Homo-oligomer: A and B are copies of this chain.
């Protein structure tokens, strides 16, 4: 089969993961270049010159086409898939032209700046027959896939509850990066709640089922932070932060289990664990642990343990990954997994716009519930 021809929007020349705009460089570019199923044929940036600079900077073939806007890229007949890897606030004008032109579309998470926008994208894609992918990378994470397998095996019986400690320590409470202020803003749609928590929530609900009722507390214990530049200079002291740094959710799940998620901000986790996720059943229990980093990033130190009954031995599940996605190093390996699953048509390992809309909706319900408490 001929490779899927990709047009990528948002490939900067940033190299450091701390830089806004680095994600396309760290995740999309190596995923596309390392896959036999994809071919990068075009870039679109804010100007043609910027796109050309990226082509040169990343040593892409000189025949790679350079566009200065998303509409021109969308008109390129030799592009099959448009990848949109830019801050959520800039997306509407980038996503829609691709869909209207009948392209398949890969959009980073969050899909929209709010549920309504996400639903709009999903309806439009459906109407125009676009196949869709959302950058909910953990859907391709071997940790998550193996967790699903253990659950499906029946080893732990019927799931009765699930409890999670999440640690927001990768997000500093006292300094922040210029240009990424949107992450501090609850209204931006791309913040600690929708991104850091949202990635985990998407996994949680897609593995265990949706919430049938929700109780939540969203608390901002650190209402300001300092914006500090590369030289260590405070460029904006006491910048307001409305995004919550404590996200406490509990409720009942569709299958009858009860659930509790408590996400906290702290300088660093006393147990060196960023996520500790228990899934408890009538016959046994699962523990998933991941170090202090974003849930979606696939850590080599992640662990999946299973204890059946009162057995003394606790099984550590092998998380060896398939060769396809491990060709791309951290933090891009799960993105490579999404590309791979999409090429193979295996929708159990990537999220569509419809899937993302569900997670948007669940985030909305958590916000609504927090206003009642």
Minimum distance in angstroms from A158 CB to a CB of chain B: 8
Selected contact of A165 from candidates B173, B278, B286, CB within 8 Å? B278
Instruction: Tell me if A39 counts as interface (CB < 8 A to partner B).
Output: no
Selected contact of A262 from candidates B161, B173, B269, B305, CB within 8 Å? B161
Instruction: Tell me if A280 counts as interface (CB < 8 A to partner B).
Output: yes
Instruction: Tell me if A69 counts as interface (CB < 8 A to partner B).
Output: no
Copies of this protein in the assembly total 2
Query: A108-116, A194-202, A247-255: which lies at the B interface?
Result: A247-255
Query: A45-53, A128-136, A306-314, A331-339: which lies at the B interface?
Result: A306-314
- Residues in chain B near residue A262, CB distance under 8 A: 161, 163, 250, 260
- Residues in chain B near residue A266, CB distance under 8 A: 160-161, 280-281, 284-285
Task: Please classify how large the interface on chain A is, using the bins under 10, 10 to 19, 20 to 34, 35 or more.
Answer: 35 or more
C-beta contact mask, A162-182 vs B, less than 8 Å → 1, else 0?
010100000001000000000
Query: A8-16, A78-86, A93-101, A215-223: which lies at the B interface?
Result: A215-223
Q: Which residue of B lies closest to A158 (CB)?
A: B221
Minimum distance in angstroms from A288 CB to a CB of chain B: 10
Known: A217-B252, A373-B215. A267 touches B163 (CB 8 A): no
Majority SS at the chain A contact face: strand
* Contact call B264/A278, Cβ cutoff below 8 A: yes
* Contact call A217/B287, Cβ cutoff below 8 A: no
* Contact call B285/A161, Cβ cutoff below 8 A: no
Cα A352 to Cα B221 with chains together (Å): 34
* Contact call B163/A217, Cβ cutoff below 8 A: no
- Residues in chain B near residue A314, CB distance under 8 A: 270, 272
* Contact call A246/B258, Cβ cutoff below 8 A: yes
Q: Which 4 A-B pairs have CB atoms at the shortest separation, nearest pair first?
A: A260-B262, A215-B215, A270-B285, A270-B307
Chain A residues within CB distance 8 Å of chain B:
160-161, 163, 165, 173, 213, 215, 217, 219, 221, 245-246, 248, 250-252, 256, 258-260, 262, 264-272, 276, 278, 280-287, 305-311, 314, 373
